[in-house]
Each structure stands twice: as C-alpha cells, then as structure tokens.
C-alpha cells in the first residue's frame, strides 16, 4: 500500500511539474529543436557536397553553408542552454533519409539534387519555420534570435536559386 501511495505521489509531482511549463515555452522549445534539426541536416548535406559536387559553384555554396550553419548552430546551442532546452545533435530521421537520397543515384546529377533539396527546398522550409518563430515566439530572446537569423537564411535561398547545376554532357 505504501508503495502504491509513493508511486501516486511521484506521479502527481511529475504531472504538476509538466503543467507548470507554460505552453508557449513548449512551442519555443519545439522551434529550437526543429531549427537544430534543420541546421544539422544542412551541415551534413553540405559536407557531403564538399566532397561529391563537381561544380565549383556548388562546392563554394556548400562551404558557405557549413560555415554559416555551424555559426548559427553554435548560437542556438548557447540560447537553448539558457532556456534549459536539450537540442538534438543531428538531422531528423526524415532529413537523414533525404541526405541518403541525394547521395544515391547518378553522380553526374548530385549537384542538382543537392541544390534542389538542401539549397532551395530546405531553405524555403527553414525560412517558414523562422518566420513563424519571429512572429509567434513568446520568449523575447527566442523571437529576437529568429528575427536576426532570417536575413542570412533568405540570402542562402537566393544563393541556391542562382546556382547553375545542369549536369555536364
């Protein structure tokens, strides 16, 4: 009986602690985790492109992505630490599958696959994620960081859209 009472008391404490976390903090934490996944995917895919890309422009773009997204990831880690948010340390399962997808197939078409999936599409998705946080985050520091990061993400999208990645014949 005492064990049951102890279990019940422990459960109630856990439920109370979970309820004490404001809903907006959960959504801000969710944004930070999603941003960490996106950044990690960009870095991993770009490191692959540094070694596999044939086009000098694509390699240069990949170099920029590794440098810029590593800097942003470091900023995010520092911010998350102040909010007691544990970030994932790599891409999501879906993003890992996308990285494998761009790595598979005809090597002559790698540059186009990378530019499309991790240059254009991934940046469009990440921009939407950051725009939402810049508008709706409840924590002023999270909101400010999202706003500060958006111009760089938009620039990356422009760079990706400008890449000429038609396979050489």
How far apart are alpha carbons 102 and 7 in whole angstroms?
A: 49
Going residue by residue through the chain (169 aa), what tens digit of pLDDT does each one get?
554 344 343 433 344 344 434 444 569 999 999 999 999 999 999 999 999 999 999 999 999 999 999 999 999 999 999 999 999 999 999 999 999 999 998 889 999 999 999 999 999 999 999 999 999 999 999 999 999 999 999 999 999 999 865 544 4
CA dihedral 59→163→104→33, nearest 10 degrees, is 80
Helices (H), the chain: 2-20, 23-52, 56-82, 93-103, 110-114, 122-136, 140-162
Question: Residue for token digits 């170099």?
Answer: 63
Q: Which residues contact 103 (CB under 8 A, 6 or more apart)?
A: 48, 52, 110
For the chain, domain boundaries: 23-162
pLDDT at 106: 86
Which one of 1.10.20.10, 1.10.10.10, 3.40.50.620, 1.20.1260.10 gives the CATH number of domain 23-162? 1.20.1260.10
- Distance, C-alpha 105 to centroid of its chain: 25
pLDDT at 9: 39
pLDDT at 84: 95
Q: What is the pTM of this model?
A: 0.81
How far apart are alpha carbons 29 and 45 in whole angstroms?
A: 24
pLDDT at 8: 40
């Amino acid at each position: 009986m005492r064990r049951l009472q102890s279990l019940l008391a422990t459960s109630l404490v856990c439920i109370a602690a979970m309820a004490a976390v404001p809903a907006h903090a959960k959504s801000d934490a969710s944004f930070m985790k999603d941003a960490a996944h996106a950044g990690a995917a960009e870095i991993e895919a770009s490191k692959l492109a540094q070694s596999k890309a044939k086009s000098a422009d694509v390699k240069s773009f990949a170099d920029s992505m590794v440098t810029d997204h590593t800097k942003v990831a470091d900023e995010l880690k520092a911010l998350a630490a102040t909010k007691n948010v544990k970030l994932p340390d790599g891409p999501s399962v879906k993003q890992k599958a996308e990285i494998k997808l761009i790595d598979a197939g005809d090597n002559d078409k790698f540059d186009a696959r990378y530019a499309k999936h991790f240059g254009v599409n991934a940046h469009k998705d990440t921009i939407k994620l950051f725009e939402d946080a810049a508008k709706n985050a409840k924590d002023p520091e999270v909101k400010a960081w999202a706003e500060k990061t958006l111009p760089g993400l938009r620039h990356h999208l422009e760079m990706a859209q400008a890449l000429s990645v038609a396979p050489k014949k």
